[in-house]
Chains A and B, each alone.
Chain A
Amino acid sequence: MIHVFSHHDQYYVYDVGSGALHACDERTARYLRGEAVELGEEDLRALGDLKAAGLLFAPETAVPPPKPHEVKALCLHISHDCNLRCRYCFADEGAYKSAREVMPFETAKAAIDFLMRESGSRKVLEVDFFGGEPLMNLGVLKQTVAYAKEEAARRGKRILFTTTTNGLLLDDETIEFFNAEMENVVLSLDGRPEVHDAVRRTVNGKGSYALVARNIKKFVRARGDKHYYVRGTFTANNLDFSKDVLFLADEGFDSISLEPVVTDIEGLAIREEDLPAIEAEYDRLCDAYVEREKEGKGFLFFHFRIDLEGGPCLQKRVSACGAGNEYFSVVPNGDIYPCHQFASDPEMRMGNVFDGKVDETIRGRFASNSLFTREGCGDCFAKFICSGGCSANNYHASGDMNKPYPITCAMMKKRTECAMHVLAERKSREK
């Protein structure tokens, strides 16, 4: 299968089976789309050569490789409480439709023991501190890092940590600790102050931009070349979100992610009729992104990053995030869920770290999920890039993990085309 697309007057052909990307002229694009145009001998020979080389109309692997049942990563809900009251919070402003509480160290320790035990032969493990706001339980977070490192070393494993924080409590001491211990830090900032303040409010109902931006800037200055993402959310209220991404870049952040909101709140939720505006906005962002790279002022936008040369292996591409099989969330009382997005769904409770077992029926449902079981993905050009989308998004939208959410699909396809254009532009400058 091939996908022929254009960005303004530049034409591309993406070969789904091989993962190769080609640039072409309009005539070749029309020919490959099946239009009644004739190509010269030289052009036809070039197409034939690519086909012979397995880079055009390449066959796809139809059989998914077996998935491991060894746990790789845990999302530790170290705090089911938050010091912000963001209007769009999928986690019920930190409480996950339950009591506001923090995770005791005993639970975090049992979760680490569970991860170590269930990780089998895996050598590289990951723990993500999540909330609510993880810094509201910093003491336990630090204790957990120390314990996990000790246990990993004892078993000849390596453990990588990530924290997602709103930045409100990010002081000098925590910055130093994060820079020493965190492989990645995700910091929530939505972009322009008025956009951020409209949704990300303090407990007193005031905008939080001024409070958090100062801390996040300080953190990023001290971060050096270690990984971080300034991660924002856009809603139906800021469909001109390219301005927010560029604002964040102008503020000095060079690693940015801006995600569509996950909510059904009227006025904030993204609807199907918003898609044309969103797609046009991704195009605008793409153009500005390429321009900035040309000017030597480039930055990393998560969704315009694509690795067609050294990307993930097929097993990773068909099994996606591994939620519910090799990746689990653990909430403050030790209950296990397939991932953080399922932690408010009682029917998805898979067990408890103190019992050390997971419900194999639920796990089986997730383990048997793959790109090849997703409805409609077979014909999609982006399937080996998006891997069938988010199980939780699909489940919450339709009740079926294997039924992709059409709005997410449309945005994913657009971002993938933009990412390919960015890559092509970058390659052309390298020559």
Chain B
Amino acid sequence: MIKTIAKPAEKKVTGCGECRSTCQSACKTSCTVGNQSCERVTREQKIDEK
């Protein structure tokens, strides 16, 4: 048995630079890019939901 839990959404853009700078998030010592969300994709999803 194998079941997909999550897969990446298709991105319309890459490298737009709108996302938060990694080191501004929380840690200042263990910066983790994967903890972040793509702000443009998140925003587009919110617009789609509306």
Contacts and interface: CB of A to CB of B under 8 A. Distances in A.
Interface of A: 12-13, 18-25, 28, 43, 46-47, 50, 55, 65, 68, 70, 72-73, 75, 90, 122-124, 126, 128, 130, 160, 162, 164, 184, 186, 229, 231, 257, 259-260, 262, 302-303, 305-317, 320-323, 326-327, 339-341, 382, 384-387, 390, 393, 408, 411-412, 416, 420, 423-424, 427
B7 interface: yes
Contacts of A12: 5
Interface of B is mostly: loop
A390 B9 contact: no
B27 interface: yes
8 contacts: A12-B5, A65-B15, A231-B27, A231-B28, A309-B8, A313-B14, A387-B31, A412-B32
Contacts of A28: 1-2
A412 B21 contact: no
Contact of B30 (A22, A260, A310, A424): A260
Contacts of B27: 231, 257, 259, 302
Contacts of B4: 20-22, 50, 55
Nearest to B20: A126
A424 B24 contact: no
B19 A312 contact: yes
A308 B7 contact: yes
Contacts, number: 187
Interface residues of B, number: 39
Contact of A128 (B11, B19, B23, B32): B23
A260 B9 CA distance: 32
B7 A310 contact: no
A126 B24 contact: yes
Interface string B6-50: 111101011111111111111111111111111001100100000
Contacts of A73: 21, 23-24
A306 B36 CA distance: 7
Contacts of B7: 18-21, 55, 308-309
A24 B1 contact: yes
Given A22-B3, A68-B17, A385-B35, 20 more contacts: A21-B4, A21-B5, A22-B2, A23-B3, A23-B5, A43-B2, A55-B7, A123-B18, A128-B23, A184-B25, A229-B25, A257-B27, A307-B37, A310-B9, A311-B8, A313-B15, A316-B36, A408-B30, A420-B5, A423-B6
Given A306-B35, A327-B21, A20 B6 contact: yes
